Structure 1
């Protein structure tokens, strides 16, 4: 069984009378596709983005048993007025629920909330759960603020209380040290690292030990920095016993690696060597299959690079689907016992 834990959807349209700042889905002559227009964003969206039947057909063609579908990241537009952001989130969440209702076992929906208003975002989580959605997707930064900022802690605490899953999608943030061409590559890697590190350093990870949260693209560069962070914390190389005489910034709390191993990470990192490092450092029980479909083409077959590692059977079972079930809070009793 394979669960694709990083895939996206778009609404096929928006209600009449929607605020002018809402997106639009414009028809494309001679095609069933539509053009997403949202501010400066113009994105041709294939029918598979918004038609459930096409989605199931695409799963079958790729060997996918189930998808966790989250809003296409441009919809996470936090510079909208808070009331408009809430209205947009509610419409997107209705669409996610409709898609999921087509086949709840194969389409597992995540919604969105207006993170530009943390109180409203936390309040809206109850409605997300009532719609039957598994959780929400948020961006790696909120108008330039790290998600580990204390102002977002009540939101994460409410998600933990309600048992909802969080998917953090890396989103470019303004940076003047790299050209714009790096926004979708290097900056996304930086953003992933910032978002996960901010939850660890800001206290959210410690305050919410039961929060089920995953990061797109393995949280970017986080894994490469964790051994250094662990050395600063406890003065040890290679996770040897703590040596506080060498520790630069000793701390009696959980180690950075321990905190990082509370998170989940999709393994869409484009290289078998990188996945192997993630398995060795974080554990196969922390990794998910992800594809970014249909914004990007899936590997054929799905998870081809991860399969090439020839993991132990238990490790492959974890990575291919059991970790996704744990992250979603849908673990069958026999899997929970493993």
Structure 2
């Protein structure tokens, strides 16, 4: 292993049985073929990119394909597989637990099992679960429990609840919108203010949230005024709430996007992400190379590479 010692907070795992199940159902990862995964190939990739530890997560579509019992079964299976992977190499892996939303009761049960028994480092929630976004009142019991626990919640995009555009796969552009929708929904619903101890980590540099944050805050202020919402969050309050999110650099560390993210986000709230293996080894290495070429000072680079993640996951600091 090389010496940079990155902590990768956007790094996927596809347990073989789970992948077979998805393929048997004709499912994809937002239009992307579900990639195979093995610990050996993953460790080789990690070493090539100076990644000391990867916090593993199951990507979209998660485990809920329409049936609650089936979703609970597969959530348990993928979490057990991830936990065994971490147990075998706790120095190299952590994991975000998968929850079977929109089944809230199942999600509460699996969150307790994963966090208390399996040692999960947090949970992964899709930006929308079968069309329901994370700030929806239906999910409030789960948010209250995650807030009570001070859980780190990795927010990953899913296919938008609506028709796709012919010839354009959802992962190419719709994913970015899905993440921005989730951030707006969590903020406007008051979820982030009611549960300030939840750490929400947004994928892919927050989509286009940093680029459009001022427009978003202004238009949401106007929206509240027009609809008679009470109390109204003014644009500065909205901006402050949007800056409370954490952001990973997965597929977002290019010379055009990264300066915008660095200008908008709290510098202590940016973590390294590769998106491997859904981003190919070559593609992930390309974006990481762009991050390494960016003129960051040593303190900021160390914070992004691992320091900010160490605050979220203290056990990885060693």
Structure 1 window deviating more from structure 2 (36-45 vs 192-201): it is 36-45
Hey, what does 1:110 align to over in structure 2? 96
Q: Show the counterpart of 1:274.
A: 257
Residues 143-292 of structure 1 aligned to structure 2 (within 5 Å) = 143-176=130-163, 178-179=165-166, 181-231=168-218, 251=233, 255-268=237-250, 269=252, 271-292=254-275
Q: Trace 1:63-142 onto structure 2 (pairs within 5 A).
A: 63-74=50-61, 76-129=62-115, 130-142=117-129
Q: Return the alpha-carbon distance in structure 1 between the equivalents of residues 8 and 164 of structure 2.
A: 34
**Aligned-partner Cα distance in 1 for 2:212–2:235:** 18
- Cα distance in 1, alignment partners of residues 163 and 253 from structure 2: 26
Task: Output the CA distance in 2 between the equivalents of 1:308 and 1:316.
Answer: 11
**Which is helix-richer, 1 or 2?**
2
Q: Alpha carbons of 1:120 and 1:293: their partners in 2 closer, same or farther (altered >3 Å)?
A: same
In 1: Cα distance, 2:194 partner to 2:221 partner? 21
d(CA) in 2 for partners of 1:316, 1:89? 35
Instruction: Indicate the larger mover: 86-95 or 63-72.
Output: 63-72
Normalising by structure 2, report the TM-score.
0.84
User: Residues of 2 paired with 1:307 and 1:208: CA distance?
Assistant: 35
Aligned-partner SS, 1:206: helix
8 Å contact from structure 2 (residues 59, 156) kept in 1? no
Task: Confirm whether residue 322 of structure 1 aligns to residue 318 of structure 2.
Answer: no
- 1:32 corresponds in structure 2 to none
Cα deviation for residue 307 of structure 1 reads 2.1
Q: 2:69, 2:220 → 1: CA distance?
A: 43
In the alignment, what sits opposite 1:24? 20
**How far is 1:318 from its partner?**
1.4
Measure how far apart 1:85 and its partner are.
0.7
Distance 2:287 2:50 in 1: 6
Q: For structure 1, which runs of at least 5 residues remain unmatched after alignment? A: 15-22, 26-35, 236-248, 334-338
SS in 2 for 1:41: coil
Shift of 1:44: 6.2
Number of equivalences: 298
Counterpart Cα distance in 1 of 2:150 and 2:233: 29
Does the C-alpha gap of structure 1 residues 176 and 89 become closer, same or farther in structure 2, counting only changes over 3 Å?
closer
For structure 2, which runs of at least 5 residues remain unmatched after alignment?
223-230
Tell me if 1:295 matches 2:285. no
The CA RMSD over aligned residues, in Å, is 2.7
Q: CA deviation at 1:207?
A: 0.6
Deviates more, 1:160-169 or 1:271-280: 160-169
Asked if structure 2 preserves the Cα contact closer than 8 Å seen for 1:79 and 1:116, the reply is no
Q: Which has the higher contact order (CA 8 A, sep 6+)?
A: 2
Matched, 1:310 2:295: yes
Is the alpha carbon distance of 1:151 and 1:263 closer, same or farther for their aligned partners in structure 2, counting shifts above 3 Å? same
In structure 2, do the counterparts of structure 1 residues 308 and 101 end up closer, same or farther at CA, with 3 Å as the change threshold? Answer: same
